[in-house]
Amino acid sequence: MYRTINILLYTLILCPVMLMAQVTSVQTLEKHIETYRALPITALTKHYLETPQDKQALHIIYNVVLAEKYAAQTDALNAQSTAHYQEAIQALDKLDNPALSIWVNTSCGFYYYTYSELAKAYNYFLKSSFQLREVPSNNLLRPTEVYLRNAYFFGNINEPEMAISYLEAAKKITPKKSKTYAEILFSLGYHHALLNKTNLAEEYYTKAKCIAQEIGDDVRKAKALGELAIIAIEKKELTTAEELLLEDIKISKKEGDYRNSMYAQILLSELYLKQQKLEKAKQNIAEAEAYAKSKNYLKGFEKEIIEHKIQLAALEGDTLTELTNHRALDEIYKHLAVTDGEEVIVKINQNLQNQNFALQLAAKQAKLEKAKLLRITLIVFCSLLFIVCVLAIILYNRKLKLQETTYQRNVLSFRLEKSASEKRLEETHKTLKSYKRYLQEKNEQVAKLEVQIEKIGKSPSKYLERKNKLLRQLLEEHLMTDENWYAFKEAFIKEQSDFYLNLKQQLPDLTESHLRIVILQKMELNNIEIANILGVTPAAVKKAKQRLRKKYNESYDALF
């Protein structure tokens, strides 16, 4: 009874007081951030040293802002920024301030994200995203900034739905006639475009352009024009696309946003290559390349530029230049393998990291509970010790439940991917083009499944797959059934009738199993992909092809 009364008093009296204190603290810290960001480095250090109150929080903010300023000076990853960010992260352990923790982790993650170090950025954004679930926007430190930066990162690792949720949260708290609001609308358009919602994306881009034009944000207007040009290209409105991109480039150069003009010139050169306007393509490629090479973190764009140069050289019949650019492209790929290329690795390990992080939070909570127990009298301690034992059982059951939930979520995710592929195939009336995409997606899904099966076999959750065998069952469902084969075969014959008739003439007495291999090879599938579809080993596919060559000699190779 006494404990119940205490809880009620805490809820009615102390909670509102603490909430008011937290809001006041956030407002105070925001003022310090604004003040620090407005000062040059020397004045910032002096101002920090002369500020007496709340040194722990200010020390963290000081290091973050100082890191931002060094990064802005060098426009690159640098030892000073990295050291200051790490000092801020380490100092967070001494404070129980979720709002500050979210802002610091987001800032640190955004630093690595800006300079294409996605793997290093991931852990910081993972922490901030977990905490964002628990803290409402009115208790956040610089909420719009936090939401936008998290949206950019998660959108960049192919999580557009998550990005959109952050953008919608930012949209609710941002004044409509502002640069930030135009930026949010633009980003909503970009992420809806990733989800193939072209009409909705176009609507957001147009709104962003109108607001940007109204408030004089020419850079945002230029960026919106560039994205609208991409949509125009998809609609085959090439003249409109060219006009939009030229306007984008003109405004971007005028405003000094050379990164955006580079991006637009890459798009424009691609358009000119499609139209065989080689001189115009060459000019835009050269300008874009000059800027991309000036920034070490723009290797992803440099890769696109070199790919365009290879295409240009091929169109001009310049074999030597084409070969030189292929070599340069190989070097770019080596660089991306440890920067932007980490994106794939991050996505594969995402579920495991989520689970580990949740368990770490649970362990930390248990540690805090234990610390509280030590401060109580012996009698109360004995009573609470019993509760701790119960909690230990609950945590263990929770761990098992978490493993089960993660396992079922993975199975559901793979099943949804499979269903989505099959739905797209049905919606496209089973054309050969749609079948080709369907087979490619099927192979990608099989590869992911095999990785997941191998991963779960090495994890504490392996008993779930041994018991349920849902992943293995789903893998078997990806095999092509007789019904699916005959539907695919019918579509193939319909669209490749000449090839099929020639096939029957050149390879008489061809068995149905060999026919499947020949047709799938015609669809440009390799041995591994064919094996995944047919449920055999790549060695079996290779051996079957050898038999076909031996039996039909040159007639077999002449088909491809």
Question: Residue 157 has what DSSP assignment?
Answer: T
8 pLDDT exceeds 50?
no
Hey, where are the domains in the chain?
Answer: 20-166, 408-476, 482-557
Closest-CA residue to 212 (of 150, 165, 255): 255
The highest-level CATH class for domain 482-557 is: mainly alpha
Contact 107, 100 (CB under 8 A): no
**Predicted confidence (pLDDT) per residue in 37-74, tens digit:** 999 998 988 888 887 666 889 999 999 999 999 999 99
**Predicted confidence (pLDDT) per residue in 382-441, tens digit:** 777 788 888 888 887 888 788 788 888 888 888 888 888 888 888 877 788 888 888 888
201 pLDDT exceeds 50?
yes
Contacts of 259 (CB under 8 A, 6+ apart): 291, 295, 298
Mean pLDDT of the region 277-297? 89
**Predicted confidence (pLDDT) per residue in 335-346, tens digit:** 777 665 545 444
Of the pLDDT bands very low, low, confident and very high (cuts 50, 70, 90), residue 166 is: very high
Crossing angle of helices 432-457 and 378-427, rounded to 10°: 160
Task: Please give the pLDDT value at position 11.
Answer: 41
**Predicted confidence (pLDDT) per residue in 476-516, tens digit:** 777 777 888 888 888 888 888 888 898 888 888 888 889 99
3-state secondary structure 433-474: HHHHHHHHHHHHHHHHHHHHHHHHHCCCCHHHHHHHCHHHHH
C-alpha distances (whole Å) from 345 to each of 199, 452, 528 are 32, 13, 21
Contacts of 10 (CB under 8 A, 6+ apart): none
CATH of 20-166, one of 1.25.40, 1.10.3470, 2.60.120, 1.10.1330: 1.25.40
**Predicted confidence (pLDDT) per residue in 358-373, tens digit:** 646 665 676 667 666 5
Contacts of 421 (CB under 8 A, 6+ apart): 438, 441, 442, 445
- Burial environment of residue 15 by CB neighbours within 10 A (0 to 12, 13 to 18, 19 or more): exposed
Least confident segment among 43-57, 156-170, 445-459, 500-514: 43-57
Task: Please give the pLDDT value at position 373.
Answer: 59
